[in-house]
Amino acid sequence: MCGRQKTACHLIGSPGAIAASEAKPVSRVRLLVVEDEARLAAALQRGLQAEGFAVDLAGDGVQGLELARHGGYDAMILDVMLPRLSGYRVVRQLRDERHWLPVLMLSAKDGEYDQADGLDCGADDYLTKPFSYVVLLARLRALLRRGGRERPVVLTHGDVELDPAERRVTVAGREVTLTAREFALLEYLIRHAGQVVSKTELLDHVWDASLETAPNAVEVYVGYLRRKIGRDRLETVRGAGYRLAAV
């Protein structure tokens, strides 16, 4: 996956056609799609199968949870609003049981709080409906590359501790209050500690791909975050992006 897809958001349309145009078959990676909107589920299944994925569908949260536990999937696409058990509860339950398969959440809601809720529950990424199928594929591939390694609930980097579930951050033992966006930014940086993270990557993962975001939004929020966690803890790598200072 190369090209950053920060283009305008499209409706799902015909994923099969997009899939055919950039067909890069992936070996039989197994995906679980949990989505109660039958047309969307079928469109996703068709499009993803055209990409070479093996795709199973579940139409409600209980069935999705059961399949995710025992199905041996490589990743899951999980709607938030589901009959019987919400997507939030499905992913929380999986993480509580120490299942680490990558989860990409689909939310009809559109707000940073909802997105943060999904991430707090243990999802790895999210997309807001309507979303671009191309962006969905790109995010999915990124998740699959990272794989289902263990992701502990409290993240630490040096003296910075971030608890996604409790939404708490402490720096050198002192609690720091962050806005949802600052929190998401710090969380992304901690999850990628040791790497330089580009502005584009941050825009893709911390901001919603479907929203128009001011080009300097990343710089502005990096500035806010530095004021709260300490300037030295967040480095600018000129021409490349940002990273947390080595510890």
What number of chain residues touch Ca ion (CB under 5 A)? 3
Candidates 2-10, 31-39, 115-123, 197-205: pick the segment binding Ca ion (CB under 5 A).
Answer: 31-39
Of 56 and 163, which CB lies nearer to Ca ion in the complex structure?
56
The contacts of residue 77 (CB under 8 Å, 6+ apart) are: 31, 32, 33, 34, 35, 44, 104, 106, 136, 140
CA atoms within 13 A on the CB side of 85: 17
Q: Is 79 in the site for Ca ion (CB under 5 A)?
A: yes
Candidates 71-79, 136-144, 159-167, 221-229: pick the segment binding Ca ion (CB under 5 A).
Answer: 71-79
- For residues 85-112, one letter each, b for 16 or more C-beta atoms within 10 angstroms of the residue's C-beta and e for the rest, the string is bbbbbbbbbbbeeebebbbbbbbeeeeb
Among 12, 50, 54, 81, binds Ca ion (CB under 5 A): 81
Of 36 and 235, which CB lies nearer to Ca ion in the complex structure?
36
Q: Which residue is nearest to Ca ion (CB)?
A: 81
Q: Smallest distance, Å, CB 79 to Ca ion? A: 4
Among 6, 10, 36, 60, binds Ca ion (CB under 5 A): 36
* Strands, sheet with 54-58, edge to edge from the N-terminal-most edge strand: 54-58, 30-34, 75-79, 103-107, 125-128
Question: Site residues (CB under 5 A) for Ca ion?
Answer: 36, 79, 81
